[in-house]
């Protein structure tokens, strides 16, 4: 179908219907995502395997800067990237690369780090399993 073969009324109607269908699909996707996410959260799973797919929750850690400073003290102040301007103001944040090293430093440090984390938004990664082909 080319632009010359379709009239504007038909194009508007088709666009509206596509937008409506897209909203329906995205709503259903979000509903299914929440079912999978809450199942994995409630069971404490970071990885789930079905006969045809593998599902994982990516590890993304974001820290509350004020809580991090309060919990970790001045000793770790070099982990904070200060607020600075780019074209807009970039808020201060904890340097995740540096903070990642702290997760292996014992239970006391881990407990402090966990109290500074910002809750993660629901996100999963789903990949289809590859069928093994015999040689």
Give the bridge partners for 56, in sequence order: 47, 125
Long-range contacts of 110-117 (CB under 8 A, 24+ apart): 112/71, 112/72, 113/63, 113/71, 113/72, 115/67, 115/71, 116/63, 116/64, 116/67, 116/68, 116/71, 116/72, 117/61, 117/62, 117/63, 117/64
pLDDT by 10s per residue, the chain, length 135: 555 666 888 888 888 899 899 999 999 999 999 999 899 989 988 899 999 999 998 877 888 888 888 888 888 888 888 877 767 777 888 888 888 888 898 999 889 988 898 887 777 677 777 777 777
CA–CA dist 78, 97 (Å, integer): 12
Question: Across-strand partners of 30?
Answer: none
pTM score: 0.51
């Amino acid at each position: 179908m080319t632009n010359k073969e379709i009239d504007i009324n038909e194009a508007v109607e088709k666009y509206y219907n596509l937008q409506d269908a897209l909203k329906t699909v995205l709503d259903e996707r979000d509903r299914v995502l929440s079912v999978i996410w809450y199942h994995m959260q409630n069971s404490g799973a970071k990885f789930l395997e079905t006969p045809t797919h593998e599902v994982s929750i990516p590890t993304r850690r974001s820290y509350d800067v004020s809580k991090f400073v309060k919990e970790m003290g001045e000793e770790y102040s070099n982990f904070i990237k200060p607020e600075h301007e780019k074209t807009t103001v970039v808020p201060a944040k904890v340097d995740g690369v540096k903070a990642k090293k702290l997760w292996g430093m014992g239970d006391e440090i881990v407990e402090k780090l966990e109290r500074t984390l910002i809750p993660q938004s629901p996100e999963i990664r789903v990949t289809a399993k590859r069928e093994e082909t015999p040689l």
